[in-house]
């Protein structure tokens, strides 16, 4: 069973903010699955901030996307033809062949999942997948969260940030503070159990954070960088810990961005600031998945998704993610 597939390719590398012109919509012939391969029809794909870095031709922790080749990323699909004993037609699988409607590849590149286990299939791309593990590992292992810590997370209404705040709450934080980019997102954070939240457009982050965390913070989970990071360093208590997860405020910068001006506070406050990559914490998945499944079942953790329809709209979904148009995980229904 061969046929045609639609793919989104990287057409050109952006300078600064990406645009629709950086993407090409391409139709390709699909080969028959060879021995050991399967054909998967994608149902949903993920768009994630790290993909912005892969559009640049720079050496980083993940290889750049290649020009005129399909982009890649997390996706979930259904096996529609199999030439492997390991996967059967009808199996639901997660994998990294996103940005296309069909993929033919070795069965070992796909992970079979139970489609009935989570509340939505897309949870595998969000709260039960890479972003969820990022939140869990960053908070517990990287920031060394302890019961009673006051936690601040930026990008708090996004896929990672919303989970960070709710896990902190579940594990006994004394205060959970989040920042996000709109009043609606702030309201949502309060509904999710954050003690305080602010829209970072409403004034200097330093002042907004001071009002939201008058007694200071022990942990900052950084998704944003820039003025958020500087403000968090300023509010840190002694022996504070910063998990540097992402710095989305600089991903489209064309010039080097200045560091926080108050870095010297790290010394007197004995602050630990540590960057991390979720893949280095993959062994936590075994502990994380059942724990998160339990939190989802009993309502301790809730998750939002913003679903964009159609593979053709995937570039727009990605650009929307960078502009903050998502609440919770941004996914594309294919
Ligand atoms: P989100 O779902 O949080 O989406 C990105 C959000 O970033 C937008 O919704 C927007 O929300 C916010 N944003 C965009 N520009 C700015 C800005 N200039 N200042 C403040 N906020 C901004 O994405 P994820 O949850 O998937 O990722 C969150 C962060 O975690 C990213 O920095 C990402 O790179 C990082 N990450 C790191 C990993 C690791 O292994 N280290 C793994 C996964 C993610 P708003 O409306 O609030 O502005």
Q: pLDDT for 234-277, tens place per residue?
A: 999 999 999 999 999 999 999 999 889 999 999 999 999 999 99
* In a shared domain, residues 94 and 188: no
* In a shared domain, residues 57 and 155: no
Asked whether residue 290 is assigned to any structural domain, the reply reads no
* In a shared domain, residues 167 and 238: yes
Q: Which of 205, 324, 332 has most ligand 1 atoms within 8 Å of its beta carbon, as the pocket-test mutant?
A: 324
* In a shared domain, residues 134 and 103: no
Average pLDDT, the chain: 97
Q: Residue 2: what pLDDT?
A: 59
Cβ of 42 closer than 6 Å to ligand 1, yes or no, is no
* In a shared domain, residues 121 and 185: no
Is pLDDT above 90 for 59?
no
Asked whether residue 292 is assigned to any structural domain, the reply reads no
Is pLDDT above 80 for 209?
yes
* In a shared domain, residues 146 and 225: yes
| Residue 146 Cα to ligand 1 middle (Å) | 24
Is pLDDT above 70 for 84?
yes
Q: Exposed (0-12), middle (13-18) or buried (19+): which is 184, by Cβ within 10 Å?
A: exposed
* In a shared domain, residues 229 and 326: no
Number of domains in the chain: 2
User: Using CA atoms, how far apart are residues 233 and 242, in angstroms rounded to an integer?
Assistant: 8
**CATH for 86:** 3.90.180.10
Give the whole-number percent of the chain exceeding pLDDT 70.
Answer: 99
Using DSSP, state whether 307 is helix, strand or coil: strand
* In a shared domain, residues 262 and 309: no
Is pLDDT above 90 for 1?
no
Using DSSP, state whether 183 is helix, strand or coil: helix
Q: Which domain holds residue 31?
A: 3-126+304-333
Cβ of 160 closer than 6 Å to ligand 1, yes or no, is yes
* In a shared domain, residues 185 and 268: yes
* In a shared domain, residues 267 and 213: yes
Q: Which atom of ligand 1 is nearest to the CA of 182?
A: 46
pLDDT in tens, 143-198: 999 999 999 999 999 999 999 999 999 999 999 999 999 999 999 999 999 999 99
């Amino acid at each position: 069973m061969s046929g045609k597939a639609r793919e989104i390719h990287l057409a050109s590398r952006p300078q600064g903010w990406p645009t629709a012109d950086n993407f090409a919509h391409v139709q390709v012939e699909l080969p028959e699955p060879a021995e050991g391969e399967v054909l998967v029809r994608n149902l949903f794909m993920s768009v994630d901030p790290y993909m912005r870095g892969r559009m640049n031709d720079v050496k980083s922790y993940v290889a750049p996307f290649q020009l005129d080749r399909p982009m890649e990323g997390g996706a979930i699909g259904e096996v529609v033809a199999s030439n492997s004993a390991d996967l059967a037609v009808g199996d639901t699988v997660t994998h990294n062949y996103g940005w296309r409607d069909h993929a033919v590849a070795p069965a070992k590149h796909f992970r079979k999942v139970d489609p009935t286990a989570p509340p939505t299939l897309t949870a595998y791309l969000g709260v039960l997948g890479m972003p969820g593990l990022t939140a869990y590992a960053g908070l517990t292992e990287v920031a060394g969260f302890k019961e009673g810590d006051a936690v601040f997370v930026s990008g708090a209404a996004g896929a990672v940030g919303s989970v960070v705040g709710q896990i902190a709450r579940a594990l006994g934080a004394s205060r959970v503070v989040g920042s996000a980019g709109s009043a609606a997102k702030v309201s949502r954070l309060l509904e999710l159990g954050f003690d305080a939240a602010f829209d970072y457009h409403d004034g200097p982050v330093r002042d907004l954070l001071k009002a939201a965390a008058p007694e200071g913070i022990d942990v900052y989970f950084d998704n944003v960088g820039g003025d958020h990071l500087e403000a968090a360093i300023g509010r840190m208590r002694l022996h504070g810990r910063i998990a540097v997860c992402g710095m989305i405020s600089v991903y489209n910068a064309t010039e080097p961005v200045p560091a926080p001006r108050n870095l010297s506070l790290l010394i007197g406050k004995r602050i630990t600031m540590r960057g991390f990559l979720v893949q280095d914490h993959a062994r936590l998945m075994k502990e994380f998945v059942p724990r998160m499944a339990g939190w989802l079942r009993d309502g301790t953790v809730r998750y939002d998704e913003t679903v964009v329809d159609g593979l053709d709209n995937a570039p727009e979904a990605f650009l929307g993610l960078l502009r903050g148009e998502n609440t919770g995980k941004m996914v594309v229904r294919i």
